[in-house]
Amino acid sequence: MSVLSGVIGAAAGLAFGSAVSTLNVHITEKYILNVDNQELLKTGTSRIMAINAVRLLLDAAALFVVFILRNVLPFSFIPAIIGTAFGLSVVSFFMLYKAAGTKKNDKKEGRG
């Protein structure tokens, strides 16, 4: 395994994980963050659990795709799977943190 192959694999994994993470955040924003508090209180736990299950399945599917393609990928598998996991977790965390902060600021300013 060359160093360049590892770097390319990690970058490709990070890009793929970040793309799936972005899809996860959009799903969360659509079904949880854009719902008013009264509706969320009515459907609360079941809605949040359903969205988290969908997000978990997307994360698992992304990792499974990289695992299945490990013999086809033109770069190293281990950095690719690590990059994918990093993209799925860290990017999702920062995007949701930003979205939650934006929602909180909108409520303070009377926009939400």
Show me where the domains of the chain are located: 24-101
Q: For 40-88, how does the pLDDT look when each residue is reduced to its tens digit (9 = 90+)?
A: 666 667 777 888 898 899 999 999 999 999 899 888 889 999 999 999 9
Position 107 scores a pLDDT of 56
Residue 50 to residue 55: CA distance in whole angstroms: 9
Q: Give 63-72 contacts, CB < 8 A, sequence gap 24+.
A: 63/88, 65/16, 66/13, 66/16
Q: How many residues does the chain have?
A: 112
DSSP annotation of 69: G
